[in-house]
Chains A and B, each alone.
Chain A
């Protein structure tokens, strides 16, 4: 957390600002103060910790909160000064908070989960020449804008989909069961739309063994998915591919049980929802055996084990998932850049970021490296199956912590306990 000193200093700046915004009293004092800080690396972490996305924003923050302890466990000679900023799930707040973070002397920014807010921050970083490490945000546009100060350690929607669909074939091969038809159900919001468009565009190219029989999109504020599930069931598809958020994932499964719809499997092609702690808790035995094809923490990595331990110690009631994992990696990437650059000058840090090659990290995939556009292309999708109320890696085999169960046992099967 921020030290007391930093706080007073910033408060002082704020008070001056509030009083003098219109009179135009000199503010350089404040900047001088901000720059006179210690030579530690100061990272501004911008996340939506209140407002509509508060839940995920807070999950992200927890991953960063234990970062310094994990670095100590891993004997990394760094300690990072992480300053938290709340974007309130609003792009305009994200923008002012980014300006504020940079004025307060942050050398790098990490954030901001959502594409709209991330782009607002990216523009500020671009104008001010301060590196931004995107922890999570899937809109392809972020790395297509020619930004010079932005790197992203998260797959774009097309990457998520390609990885997920490749894993579907893998799942069918390992289990020896191949469904012939599938139905897509998607929440109609920013993320859902880009996933659906991506799936429709990529599907013909990927030579999938099953046919997509229908796409059913529903309102993000849906209070009941009875009709939607009824429609999906009527297609008699053997596979359900849900692109959901959390609440609708719960409604979806409740409805499937009630309507006694038992497809061969529920394979989430890269969305949140099915692997979340709250889903697992609320759905109980009915949440078991659903598979999410998402980037996940590599249980075989020593750093992941340390992260899991530290996270469990600090937040015993919260599950560590990809949100916390990627946000931790955002801080890790910043730390590495600092170690390489041996300087807090933005230009040096950015140079170091571009040359990053981080072999030891927490998410499944190759070393963290960025291409010319600033995109990490080494992230690999995994298959995470809900087993014993815990999302468990089942594929790729080299990272698997348990064997795959597919097809999904029926709702009344004894394996559901």
Chain B
């Protein structure tokens, strides 16, 4: 009860009602939506979840990472590799996966923060590590090298080994997304969260008033990496195959950043709104582009949409929506 009060404290009741309705809607969605709709909703939740994880690092603590595919890729590969080689199920494997990704996050973070890299420099460090790992995995036989790692596909539901159809994976990613949302809310309300915001606004000033800057940044990157690793595990078992070329791709890292930036950096709903907007736009543009028969036309629409959003709503879609509808959550 205490936890619930902490979560709901200071939130307008109108917003709480909407939130509750949304949750109920999501819970019954598989019964109502077609399979295609469900697969789109799965993508939305996936990007919302990863966006939430990335948002901790960038939106809360102000550290721009363009290499988050590293953590997702590591998580996915480790859990899938353990399952493939030793039959170790993902529920056990994910501890190893999360530990490894957190360690990787800690190394990248420590090196970056210790040498006080910021902004673009830090972003490039994250890209470099992720690319470095991609090439290493290309040559690592245990995970199949660049030939890829394939899990045995099995549609019979087996919760223990995370095997089953889309509905299973839908509820798992929904649980992850809800969990991430609650975690982020708690973090933001905590002392750590306030330290992060102080660091984001002005790291030097924060240091001067006694905020343990290095430690706070490290915690941010480790939490973010661990959460992203979970998404990687989920992704590996959902698609049942992994290739270094896609798992560690820079394009993948960039995809992760889009939902929170478009939705509203540093807000709780930003990643969710961003994921809905981007995935929805993507599907609409796919349909729209069928009229033209020009390859690349969908991405041109998509690029234009991004351009328009960033030019006219640079702080993101959610803060603007929240203002208009009086939900009151602002970028902190």
Contact B243 A21 (CB under 8 A): no
Residues 25-56 of B, flagged 1 when their CB comes within 8 A of A and 0 if not, give 11011001111111111011000000000000
Contact A18 B283 (CB under 8 A): yes
User: Which residues of A sit under 8 angstroms from B147, Cβ to Cβ?
Assistant: 139, 190, 193-194, 197
Chain A minimum-CB-distance residue to B299: A50
List the one stretch of B3-11, B72-80, B111-119, B285-293 in contact with chain A.
B285-293
User: Which residues of B sit under 8 angstroms from A23, Cβ to Cβ?
Assistant: 25
Contact A22 B33 (CB under 8 A): no
Tell me which residues from 247 to 302 in chain A have a Cβ below 8 Å from any Cβ of chain B. none
Contact A31 B287 (CB under 8 A): no
- Tell me whether A96 and B146 are in contact in the complex, defined as CB-CB below 8 angstroms, given that A22-B276, A24-B25, A126-B155 are known contacts: no
- Tell me whether A21 and B295 are in contact in the complex, defined as CB-CB below 8 angstroms, given that A91-B239, A197-B147 are known contacts: no
Residues 174-199 of A, flagged 1 when their CB comes within 8 A of B and 0 if not, give 00000000000000111011100100
User: Which residues of B sit under 8 angstroms from A2, Cβ to Cβ?
Assistant: 290
A25 to B241 Cα, complex, angstroms? 34
Contact A91 B284 (CB under 8 A): no
Contact A127 B245 (CB under 8 A): no
B89 lies within 8 A of chain A by Cβ: no
User: Which residues of A sit under 8 angstroms from B243, Cβ to Cβ?
Assistant: 116, 190
Picked from B22, B43, B153, B299, the residue with its CB within 8 Å of the CB of A92 is: B43
A141 to B284 Cα, complex, angstroms? 34
Tell me which residues from 141 to 161 in chain B have a Cβ below 8 Å from any Cβ of chain A. 144-148, 150, 152-153, 155
Contact B34 A21 (CB under 8 A): no
Which secondary structure characterizes the binding site on chain A? helix
Tell me which residues from 343 to 391 in chain A have a Cβ below 8 Å from any Cβ of chain B. none
- Tell me whether A27 and B286 are in contact in the complex, defined as CB-CB below 8 angstroms, given that A91-B239, A189-B146 are known contacts: no
User: Which residues of A sit under 8 angstroms from B37, Cβ to Cβ?
Assistant: 17, 21, 27
Chain B minimum-CB-distance residue to A145: B153
Q: How close is A25's CB to chain B, nearest CB, in angstroms?
A: 8
Chain B minimum-CB-distance residue to A7: B290
A153 lies within 8 A of chain B by Cβ: no
A86 lies within 8 A of chain B by Cβ: yes
Tell me which residues from 218 to 247 in chain B have a Cβ below 8 Å from any Cβ of chain A. 239-241, 243, 245-246
Contact B246 A91 (CB under 8 A): yes
Contact B33 A21 (CB under 8 A): yes
Q: How close is A191's CB to chain B, nearest CB, in angstroms?
A: 8
A99 to B124 Cα, complex, angstroms? 37
Q: How close is A112's CB to chain B, nearest CB, in angstroms?
A: 13
Contact A189 B165 (CB under 8 A): no
A100 to B40 Cα, complex, angstroms? 10
User: Which residues of B sit under 8 angstroms from A99, Cβ to Cβ?
Assistant: 34-36, 38-39
Q: How close is A29's CB to chain B, nearest CB, in angstroms?
A: 10
B20 lies within 8 A of chain A by Cβ: no
Contact A18 B280 (CB under 8 A): yes
Contact A188 B241 (CB under 8 A): no
User: Which residues of A sit under 8 angstroms from B293, Cβ to Cβ?
Assistant: 1
Contact A22 B35 (CB under 8 A): no
User: Which residues of B sit under 8 angstroms from A100, Cβ to Cβ?
Assistant: 36, 39
Picked from A7, A54, A95, A188, the residue with its CB within 8 Å of the CB of B239 is: A95
A30 lies within 8 A of chain B by Cβ: yes
Chain A minimum-CB-distance residue to B282: A93
A323 lies within 8 A of chain B by Cβ: no
Chain A minimum-CB-distance residue to B139: A188
A121 to B98 Cα, complex, angstroms? 29
- Tell me whether A86 and B165 are in contact in the complex, defined as CB-CB below 8 angstroms, given that A22-B26, A190-B243 are known contacts: no
Q: How close is A307's CB to chain B, nearest CB, in angstroms?
A: 21
- Tell me whether A119 and B25 are in contact in the complex, defined as CB-CB below 8 angstroms, given that A49-B295, A188-B138 are known contacts: no
Chain A minimum-CB-distance residue to B22: A22
Contact B32 A26 (CB under 8 A): yes
B residues contacting the other copy or chain, number (CB 8 A): 51
Centre residue among B33, B276, B295 by max chain A CB count within 10 A: B295
Contact B32 A11 (CB under 8 A): no
A25 to B29 Cα, complex, angstroms? 9
Picked from A50, A119, A122, A126, the residue with its CB within 8 Å of the CB of B295 is: A50
Q: How close is B46's CB to chain A, nearest CB, in angstroms?
A: 8
User: Which residues of B sit under 8 angstroms from A145, Cβ to Cβ?
Assistant: 150, 152-153
B296 lies within 8 A of chain A by Cβ: yes
User: Which residues of B sit under 8 angstroms from A1, Cβ to Cβ?
Assistant: 293
Residues 133-157 of A, flagged 1 when their CB comes within 8 A of B and 0 if not, give 0000001010001010000000000
Contact B146 A190 (CB under 8 A): yes
A410 lies within 8 A of chain B by Cβ: no
Contact A21 B152 (CB under 8 A): no
Chain A minimum-CB-distance residue to B33: A27
Tell me which residues from 68 to 86 in chain B have a Cβ below 8 Å from any Cβ of chain A. none
A10 lies within 8 A of chain B by Cβ: yes
Q: How close is A198's CB to chain B, nearest CB, in angstroms?
A: 10
Contact A58 B295 (CB under 8 A): yes
A166 lies within 8 A of chain B by Cβ: no
Q: How close is A82's CB to chain B, nearest CB, in angstroms?
A: 13
A314 lies within 8 A of chain B by Cβ: no
B298 lies within 8 A of chain A by Cβ: yes
User: Which residues of A sit under 8 angstroms from B284, Cβ to Cβ?
Assistant: 14, 18
User: Which residues of B sit under 8 angstroms from A11, Cβ to Cβ?
Assistant: 287
Picked from B144, B290, B296, the residue with its CB within 8 Å of the CB of A50 is: B296
User: Which residues of B sit under 8 angstroms from A91, Cβ to Cβ?
Assistant: 239, 241, 246
Chain A minimum-CB-distance residue to B284: A18
Q: How close is B80's CB to chain A, nearest CB, in angstroms?
A: 13
Chain A minimum-CB-distance residue to B288: A11
Tell me which residues from 87 to 122 in chain B have a Cβ below 8 Å from any Cβ of chain A. none
Contact A14 B283 (CB under 8 A): yes
Contact A96 B150 (CB under 8 A): no
User: Which residues of A sit under 8 angstroms from B139, Cβ to Cβ?
Assistant: 188
Closest 6 CB pairs of A and B: A193-B147, A99-B36, A103-B36, A141-B150, A100-B36, A99-B39
Q: Given A2-B290, A49-B295, A190-B245, 10 more contacts at CB 8 Å?
A: A7-B290, A17-B283, A21-B280, A22-B276, A24-B29, A88-B298, A90-B246, A92-B43, A96-B283, A127-B166
Contacts A/B (CB < 8 Å), 22 sampled: A17-B283, A18-B284, A24-B29, A24-B33, A27-B33, A50-B298, A50-B299, A84-B290, A92-B239, A96-B40, A97-B286, A99-B38, A100-B36, A103-B35, A119-B239, A119-B240, A120-B241, A124-B39, A127-B165, A188-B139, A189-B245, A219-B135
Question: Interface residues, chain B, CB within 8 Å of chain A?
Answer: 22, 25-26, 28-29, 32-41, 43-44, 135, 138-139, 144-148, 150, 152-153, 155, 165-166, 239-241, 243, 245-246, 276, 280, 283-284, 286-287, 289-291, 293, 295-296, 298-299
